[in-house]
Amino acid sequence: MAEKKYGNRFVEKTGSRIGPTPPRSKNVVPRRFGDYPGVPQAFLDAAACRANRDDSGPILSDELMEFIRHTFTQEEASIYRRIQPGAKDNTAARIAETAGRPVEEVRAILDRLAHEKRVMTSFGRGENKQYRHVPIVPGIFEMVMIRPSLDSLTPWHYRFAELFARLYETGYFYHGGRSRPKRLDKNGKPKARIPLFRYLPVGKSIEANQMALPAEKLEEVFSRYKSFAVGLCQCRMTEEIVGRGCGRPMENRAAMGRAAEGAIRAGRMRRVELDELLDIKADAEASGLVSMVLNAHQDVDSNASCSCCGCCCHAFRAISEFSMPFMLSPPHFLPARQAEQCDHCGRCALACPMGAITVDLKAKTFNHNLDRCIGCGLCAVACGTKHAFSMEAVPEYELPPQIKFGSLF
């Protein structure tokens, strides 16, 4: 069977040059709440709950307002806005009191938002059940769009995906987060940003490398857990909806441990055994996808893994489209090129999901942008029998700090 070829819309061939497309220019137009005189106050307040609230949150814009007005009804927005970020008492009773409405009515709205629409989280039971906001990404987008099949998508979901794509393309990750002051520690110094996730090198590119750590091999990472589930990739699904799908496999978003059990109960993923999950991930790698895992602390009984492409993955695109390398953990392996073996065919540049390689076929030049490289090894795999690349360990590499995600799961 002939190998199927996939493209990457952020890598282009211009004349004899193969390399990344130019970064997207700023195209978000900041707004003020006074710019929306005809919009009900409930929607304005709900938008305020998300605008400028966290490092990855959007600034107020027409795209955000349209997204909010689709995500919530006016009644839902009037309740959503009353959840206090960081408060210890976000029960239905407390929210109902501030809203001046019967507690059972308010509880029904909150549960619809948390369990049917999945645009917020909840934990606990009965009268002590608590409700929490989550960011748009990671958070609302994933919770709404991750699902076991396309059959469960409604017109509401299709419109949600379209509006999210429009909001993302304003560059709000970059133009929002970078414009805010850095968080400070107790000594008044900027806190180091700890990446939420890391990318694992493609197994074929390091299979004989003795420097590979157990935490960089999917089999080793997954073997810590007893429960596994898979669902559709929310990024490729969204890009397919808006007409930019790359055609790569979608069913390779995985959850492990307690997160898997929760996703299965909620109907968001289907249960699989470890062997099937490893086969799914192997097929994903064969189609040019790269595996991501959360930097979950060892005593956390959950984790998640995406299989990402350069053309659909929003984390990848934050780098390739909007030049935000701080989101990713530094790679353990980097490609080393043997110039005498290289004939400048450009296969490595076409395979790189990050557009980190530029090759000029005619001038016989090669450039490797380390700021974009995630050490996935797809360039070495694409080079094949020419062996112009080898994956070499970065000296004195250490795994990134791990995070206790808590209520994320």
- Entry pTM: 0.87
The pLDDT of residue 186: 53
Q: What residues of the chain score a pLDDT lower than 50?
A: 1-2, 175-185, 190, 407-409
Closest Cα partner for 200 from 78, 92, 328?
328
Q: What residues form DSSP beta bridges with 292?
A: 199, 306
Three-state SS for 171?
coil
The pLDDT of residue 116: 93
Three-state SS for 293?
strand
Is residue 195 within 8 A of residue 238, CB to CB? The reply is: no
Condensed to tens digits (0 to 9), the pLDDT of residues 96-122 reads 999 999 999 999 999 999 999 999 999
Closest Cα partner for 364 from 342, 385, 383?
342
Domain positions in the chain are 33-135, 197-327+402-408, 329-393
The length of the chain is 409
Q: To which residue do tokens 């995630």 refer?
A: 374
The pLDDT of residue 244: 92
Domain 329-393 sits in CATH 3.40.50.720:
no
Residue 33 exposure: Cα atoms within 13 Å on the Cβ side: 12
The pLDDT of residue 107: 96
Closest Cα partner for 137 from 89, 104, 169, 182?
169
Condensed to tens digits (0 to 9), the pLDDT of residues 297-311 reads 665 788 899 999 999
d(CA 4, CA 240): 18
The pLDDT of residue 327: 59
d(CA 400, CA 394): 13
Is residue 77 within 8 A of residue 85, CB to CB? The reply is: no
The helix, strand and coil proportions of the chain, stated in percent and rounded to the nearest 5, come to 40, 15, 45
Fold matches, 33-135 and 329-393: no
Residue 218 exposure: Cα atoms within 13 Å on the Cβ side: 30
Angle value at C-alpha 169, between 164 and 175, nearest 5 degrees = 110
The pLDDT of residue 407: 42
The pLDDT of residue 329: 78
d(CA 25, CA 378): 28
Look at the alpha carbons of 325, 310, 313, 27 in this order and tell me if their dihedral is positive or negative. Answer: positive
The pLDDT of residue 4: 60
Q: In sequence order, what E strands does 258-350 have?
A: 270-272, 290-294, 302-308, 333-337
Q: Which CATH class is domain 33-135?
A: mainly alpha
Three-state SS for 259?
helix
Output the DSSP codes for 103-149: HHHHHHHHHIIIIIS-SSEEES-GGG-EEE---IIIIIHHHHH--S-
